[in-house]
Amino acid sequence: MAAPTEAIKEKSMILQKDMLAKQFHDLSKAKELGKKVVYTFVPGNITELILSFDMLPVYPEINALQSGMRKKSASFIKDAEKIGFSEDVCTYVKCDIGMMLNGNIGPTGEKLPSPDLLLLSYTGCFTFLKWFENLERLYPGVPVAMLHTPYQEDGQITKDQIDYMVKQLKEDVIPKMEKVSGKKYDPARLSEMMKNSAKAEDLLVKVLESAKNVPTPIDAYFAGVYYIGPIFTAFRGTTAAVEYYTELWNEVQERMRLGLGPVTPEGEIKEQKFRLVMEGPPNWTNFREFWKIFYDMGAVIVASSYTKVGGVYDLGFRHDPTEPLESLAKYCMGCYTNMNLPQRVGLIEKYVKEYKADGFLINSIKSCNSFSAGQLMIMREIEQRCGVPVGFIESDLVDPRYFSYANIKNRLESYFQMLEQRKIILKRDGIEAG
Amino acid sequence: MKSFDTILKECEALSFDLNFTHAKKWKAEKSDRILVGYLPIYVPREIIHAANGLPVGIMGSGDRKQIIKGDAYYQSYICHFPRGIIELALDKNLDNFDGFMFPAICDCVRNLSGMFKLSQKGKFQRYFDYPQNFEPQTGGVFYIQEMEKVMEDMYAINKIKVTDEKLNKAIKLYNKNRKLIEAIYAIRQQYPWRLSAVETYHILRAGIVIPVEEHNEILSQVVEYISNERGEPMDNIRVVVSGSFCEQPPVGLIKSIEMAGCYIVDDDFMLGSRWIQGDINENSNSPLSALSSAYINQSTFSSAYYDVGNPKGKRLVDLAQKRNADGVIFSAASFCDPALLDRPEMQKECDAAGIPHINFQFHENTGQFKVIKEQAGTFSDSIKLWA
Ligand code: SF4
Ligand code: SF4
């Protein structure tokens, strides 16, 4: 296989790269600058609240995925296994622990600061609990604030659940943040940030929904996680995020006007043969190779569930400056992995139909029970409800031992052949695909 | 009074009756009775009892059922437990159950609740969210709300109102149940040869599929029997087995540990029946608050629960010391994230306290125990040699 060439980048991508680099640089200087550091997670993050105290968030999963992309995860995982972590468990945790065992050097090569506060909001995944129990032991004495997010067990968010979360915010999380940061909670500032959040959210939804166009100007999975989504978490609530999404939305509109397809690391996809909806996280260790299999075959992802772990904004949720804490609670409970299985099926069904998809594909991740347990049932349901061909591949987030290029390529090729056949038959019978 | 052998045989048969015949028969006797299946680890069974229900523990299909359909629902890297449950559901073993409770212990069980919802198994499929916040005014209130949801689910079926009086009566019955179980563990601590770990396992497991009143009767008789000498003391070491709180090890595995020269003086096999430590207030004006307060303040520990502030490793060491154990055996189901993610930390605590330990992984349908037996045998020998 040819060595990957330098990726082709749009203006928004460069903007994002700069923002992320600055973020990691600020983190490396946090102690000198007197900034307090909060370790927390992406799904159900309460970034605005952290930022409203002028603290800097660190997301261990982002470090893990970056380590995966930079080919460092394999040795980190091995180091964690050496100290007793089983081969069977989530590799994000092991990668993160391995990184800490190796001096906590972040993705940009700069050392990440130790946490001043461990903020455990464990939306949609129990492994987060375990992860933080481990972090708590690695950083003895660092205060831990817990924000328990109730699951959407009935497929809805109830008032009791909101009250429970707001109470935790008021009685535990905020007092601990005040103590650590030395600042008073400022609801006006938080509301102000939420105005920015809502603006960025509007723009993000426009970008994601642009994939309803045929041809689509974006890839809602690979590009979705690569340059559309990542900025969202750490910067939500800031004017920089609004600027970034304004720029991105302008670019996407321009692409639509010109009838251009998604940007890939090797330029624009010329022919869009298959439109797919994708479920499950991507593989990070071989991200470009993985993506390439798709764009080489003319397959574009028009909607994905993974890009909704940080919020399902396309279902209408926006952070609301008039009720900031309630809105944080609703946000946490609304994230994709906190939706029950019938809701997940319903959302995917909606995507397949509204985005006129030719097929539904699952990338099942060995690490991640939160996503994977139940996926085979989701697959059956979608096949029945939508009548589109469904496909299934397996890999892992950051453990390269579980990414088999040949295997995945074979499977995908057969799957694409199946889609091709179906198109021919539908065309012959005079039925529009999708 | 039945002979001890008869009791043991009956318990063994009950524990592995995957058709839940006894429970179904109980339900058939009266039209307003309901069956509520629950998964590991713990649910407040009292509320089900008070609603004319029988809580029935569903601990998986073990090595008693061939898994054919269940495998088509789960990838190879997911533990065995849920596939056995799906197999039971598809094979109609769980027909006649009115509802199901899925305690919030891990993502597999959580998503299994959604699979039951999608396939509309039972009249309700309740994911029972435990508070991870242990403040009475926050987590305690949330827990009461969770119980109320289940009470509404049951009411919708049989229209039986749960009164304080009924709840207090149920609390009393389950207090007695836990007390008798602890009495058995206490006797076994001193005289482990009087009741083997496998026999203990059967007796406890039988208790989760029959009415508590009947189980209390059985337990009283067992306590009476083992208050007298039975069996022969052997030169065995004493171990605590930890990590099997959800997917259950096959009985052959428990037997192998014993045969290798280890008395199991404590374990987490049937942890739900022993979850609350000590009595729950049985004369309260607000029994739901009493149940909630017991959950918040008297829960034991397990990998499936958040422990910051009260670390599990330390609690395991305390338990081993209280039981005067010579060592700890970590025995977790393969692919069980909660148990396996805890293992390094728990081992570290054991090391710090000078408690030797070994570990293995199993599937509920593992059929080969040779390696485990050898490992446990070497463990036992080395402790005897160096102690
Ligand atoms: S199990 Fe999945 S959601 Fe949970 S930490 Fe691991 S990768 Fe993330
Ligand atoms: S065995 Fe472990 S991973 Fe499997 S369902 Fe039980 S707690 Fe979850």
Summarize pLDDT for B54-90 with one digit per residue, the tens: 999 999 999 999 999 999 999 999 999 999 999 999 9
The predicted structure's pLDDT at residue A1? 39
| CATH number at A11-188 | 3.40.50.11890
Q: Provide the residue-wise pLDDT of chain A in tens; the chain has 434 residues.
A: 344 456 667 788 888 888 888 888 889 899 999 999 999 999 889 999 999 999 999 999 888 988 999 899 999 999 999 999 999 999 999 999 999 999 998 877 888 999 999 999 888 899 999 998 888 888 999 999 999 999 999 999 999 999 999 999 999 999 999 999 999 999 999 999 999 999 999 999 999 999 999 999 999 999 988 878 767 788 999 999 999 999 999 999 999 999 999 999 999 998 999 999 999 999 999 999 999 999 999 999 999 999 999 899 999 999 999 999 999 999 999 999 999 999 999 999 999 999 999 999 999 999 899 999 999 999 999 999 999 999 999 999 999 999 999 999 999 999 999 999 998 998 888 775 54
Substitution target from B101, B133, B351, B361 for chain A, most A beta carbons within 10 A:
B133
**Is A373 part of the contact surface with chain B (CB cutoff 8 Å)?**
yes
Q: Chain B residues with CB inside 8 Å of A345's CB?
A: 118
Check pocket membership of A336 for ligand 1, CB cut-off 6 A: no
- Residue A365 Cα to ligand 1 midpoint, Å, equals 9
Mutate to test the pocket of ligand 2, among B127, B247, B268, B337 (most ligand atoms within 8 A of CB): B247
**Nearest residue of B to residue A379, measured between CA atoms:** B73
Select from 3.40.50.2000, 3.40.50.2300, 3.40.50.1100, 3.40.50.11890 the CATH code of B20-158. Answer: 3.40.50.11890
User: In this complex, which of A120, A370, A376 lies closest to B72 when CB atoms are compared?
Assistant: A376
How is residue A123 written in tokens? Answer: 């939306």
Q: Cβ separation of B340 and A148 shorter than 8 Å?
A: no
| Structure confidence by residue, pLDDT tens digits, B195-204 | 999 999 999 9
pLDDT recorded at residue A107: 75
| Closest Cβ–Cβ partner in A89, A129, A136 for B340 | A89
CA of B341 to the centre of ligand 1 (A): 12
Please determine, for residue B355, whether its predicted confidence score (pLDDT) is greater than 80. Answer: yes
> What is the structure's pLDDT at A6?
61
A344 touches chain B (CB under 8 A): yes
What was the pLDDT predicted at B65? 93
Which of B98, B88, B104 lies closest to B53 in space, CA to CA?
A: B98
Domain range list for chain A? 11-188
Whether residues A340 and B337 touch (CB distance < 8 A) is answered with no
Digit-coded pLDDT (tens) for B197-231: 999 999 999 999 999 999 999 999 999 999 999 99
Instruction: For ligand 1, say whether the CB of A197 is within 6 Å of any of its atoms.
Output: no
Predicted pLDDT of residue A5: 54
Q: Which of A148, A154, A305, A347 is the best substitution to test chain B (most B C-beta atoms within 10 A)?
A: A148
pLDDT value of residue A3: 43
Mean pLDDT of all residues belonging to chain B: 96
pLDDT value at residue A17: 84
- Predicted local confidence at residue A2, as pLDDT: 41
Contact state of B127 with A366 under an 8 Å Cβ cutoff: no
Q: Minimal Cα distance from A122: which residue of B?
A: B132
The pLDDT-based confidence of B255 (bands split at 50, 70, 90) is very high
Q: Among A28-32, B156-160, B313-317, where is mean pLDDT lowest?
A: A28-32
The pLDDT value recorded for residue A8 is 65
Q: Which of residues 152-171 of A touch B (CB under 8 A)?
A: 153, 160, 164, 167-168, 171
The verdict on the CB of residue B342 being under 6 Å from ligand 2 is no
Q: What is the pTM of this model?
A: 0.96
